[in-house]
Structure 1
Amino acid sequence: MKKKDLLTPIGLVLGFAMIMFGIINNSGIMGATSFIDFPSLLIVLGGTIGALLITFNMKEMQVLPGVMKQVFSKQENELSELIHTFVKLSDRARREGLLALEAELDDVNNDFLKKGVLLAVDGVEPEVINDIMNAEIAAMEERHRKGRSILEKAGDYAPSWGMIGTLIGLVLMLKNLNDPSTLGPNMAIAILTTLYGTLLANLVFIPMANKLGNKTEREVFIKQIIIEGVIGVQSGQNPKILEEKLSAFLSNQDREKSEEEVAEALEENFQ
C-alpha cells in the first residue's frame, strides 16, 4: 500500500525557503526579484533536458514521470506486520497443509509474497524458489537503476549547463563593454545560470536519485526477508522458530511490537 511521502516536499520547500530567507534578509523583497531570470532558467532547464534526450532513448525517458512519482510516495512495508503474516501462514500450513495457504492469500497485498507462497504450494524445491525470487529481485534492481540514472545524469548536467550559461553571459558582457547598460543583464545571466544549475542539482536531482536508491535498498531487504519466510513456511518450521528467525532483521523496538502481534495471531488461530 502506497502513501504520500511528506518528507520530500517538505525538504524541497525548506531548501528553497532557506535560500529565499537568506536573500530577503539581506536585500529585501525587491532585492529577491533580481534573482529571478527566466532566460537563465531556460538555459539550464532546456540544456539539461536536451542532454537527457540525447543520453536516453524514448522508452527510457517515458518512465521518468513514474520515477518522479516514486520520490513522493512511500511503500508501507511494516516488518512486524510481515512477520505476523508469516507466523499465521506457518501455523496454518502445519495444521492444514500447504494447500490451505491459498485461502490466506486473499488478505495479502504483497505480490512478491503471494508469488513465493504459490510456488511453495505448487511443490517447487526451496533452491528453485530462492533462484526464481532472487532473479526477480535482480530484475527489479536493474529497472530501478535505469530510472534512477536519469535523475543522476540530470544532476551531472545541470551544473554544467549553469557554467555554459555563465560563459554565454560573460561573452555577451565582454562584447558590449562599450555599452554600460548591458553589463548588468549580461552579468545576471552569467551568475544566475550557475546558481540555478547548482541549486537544481543539489536540492532536486541528486537528492531525489539518492532517495530512490535508499528505497530500492529497503525493498530488496524486505524481499530477502520474504524469501526466508516462504522457505521457512514450506519446510514446516515451527511458527515460534520462524518468528525468532525473522525477528533477527528487526530493531529492538520493532521486535517487541512484533512479539505482541504474533502472540495475538496465534491466540486467534487456536480459538
Structure 2
Amino acid sequence: MDFTTILGIVLGIGSLLLGYALDGGHLSALYVFSAILIVVGGTIGAVVVAFPFSKLKEVPKALGMAFKETKNDPSTIIEEIVDMATVARREGVLALEQRAQEHPNPFLKDGLMMVVDGTDPELTRQILELEMDALEHHHEGYAKIFESAGGFAPTMGIIGTVMGLIHVLGNLSSPDSLAPAIAVAFTATLYGVSTANIIYLPIANKIKIRSREQISQMELMLEGILALQAGENPQLIKKKLSSFIHQKNKKAVTEAGGDNGEER
C-alpha cells in the first residue's frame, strides 16, 4: 500500500476542514447531501459517457496503480542480469532456458526466451519496444479517466450552485432564509473544486509517475537483455546499466522541473 497517496488525500481534506473550522465555521454546514449527489453523481455520469465500458472496467486497476506501492529495485535487476550474463558466457544462452521459463517478471521472461530461441537482436528489440509502448498507452488511458473526472467535477459544482441559486431566487418571499440558502448552494462548487484538486487530478498524476517508473524499469531490462544476447562482458553490462539508471534519474529530474514551469 502506498501510504503517501492516502496521506495526501487525508491531509488535503483535513487542512480544508481545519482551516474552515479555525475561521469559525461549523463543519456540519459543509454537509449538503444534494450537493454531494449532484457533484459526485454528475461527475461519474459524465465519465461514463466519455469512456467506453472496456476502459471503465479497468478503473480498479488504475486505482491499484495509485494506491499500491510497487517494489522497483534496479540494483537487484542489474545483479540478476549480470549473473545470467556470466552463466551465458560460460555455458551458453541455452543454459538460461529453465531460469527464463520460471522468471516471475513477464517482460524479462519474454526477452530471455527470445534470446534462448536465437531471435535476431533487432527483432527482439522491436518486439519488446512494442510491448513497452502498448503498456505505456494502456497507462495513459488509466490517467485520462481521472483527468477527465478532474475536469468534470468543478463544472458539476457550478451546475449544482446554479441550481441552488435558482431555487433561492424562486423563494424570495422568505428573506430571512436567503443568506443560508445561498451558502448551501455554494457548497456544490466547493465539492467540485476540492474533489478535482485533491482526489481526481492527483491520482491521475500518481498513475503517470508509476507508469514512468515501470517503463524505465522495462527499458533497463531491455538494454540488459540485448547486452546479454550480444555476449558482452558481465562487468561491462553492470557498468552500462548502472550508468543507465543515473541518466534516467537525471532526465526524470529535468523533466519534472520542466513540468513545474509549464502554464496550466
2:8, 2:136 → 1: CA distance? 26
1:21, 1:182 → 2: CA distance? 27
Give 1:187 shift. Answer: 1.3
1:118, 1:181 → 2: CA distance? 77
Give 1:103 shift. Answer: 2.8
2:9 corresponds in structure 1 to 12
1:102, 1:76 → 2: CA distance? 25
2:223, 2:192 → 1: CA distance? 45
Match of 1:74, SS state, is: coil
Alignment of 1:183-198 (within 5 A): 183-198=178-193
Give 1:80 shift. Answer: 0.5
Residue deviations 1:37-63, cap 9 Å, x none?
A: 111111100110111111112222111
Question: Does the 8 A contact of 1:176 with 1:182 survive in 2?
Answer: no
Q: Indicate whether 1:57 and 2:52 are aligned.
A: yes
Q: Residue type matched to 2:166 in 1?
A: V
Q: Percent identity?
A: 36
2:43, 2:235 → 1: CA distance? 55
Match of 1:76, SS state, is: coil
Question: Does the 8 A contact of 1:44 with 1:158 survive in 2?
Answer: yes
Give 1:176 shift. Answer: 1.0
1:175 corresponds to which of 159, 170, 175 = 170
1:211, 1:151 → 2: CA distance? 11
Question: Does the 8 A contact of 2:38 with 2:156 survive in 1?
Answer: yes
Give 1:74 shift. Answer: 2.0
Question: Does the 8 A contact of 2:220 with 2:245 survive in 1?
Answer: no
Question: Does the 8 A contact of 1:39 with 1:189 survive in 2?
Answer: no
TM-score, normalised on structure 2?
0.89
Q: Residue type matched to 1:65 in 2?
A: P
1:129 corresponds in structure 2 to 124
Number of residue pairs the alignment of both structures matches? 248
TM-score, normalised on structure 1?
0.87
Name the stretch that deviates more: 40-49 or 179-188. Answer: 179-188
Q: Indicate whether 1:207 and 2:202 are aligned.
A: yes
Cα-Cα RMSD:
1.7
Q: Residue type matched to 2:207 in 1?
A: L
1:70, 1:189 → 2: CA distance? 36
1:95, 1:68 → 2: CA distance? 45
Alignment of 1:1-271 (within 5 A): 4-27=1-24, 31-105=26-100, 108-251=103-246
Residue deviations 1:65-89, cap 9 Å, x none?
A: 2211221012212111110011001
For structure 2, the 5+ residue unaligned runs are 250-264
Structure 1 residue runs of 4 or more that deviate by more than 4 Å after TM superposition: none
Question: Does the 8 A contact of 1:165 with 1:189 survive in 2?
Answer: no
Match of 1:248, SS state, is: helix
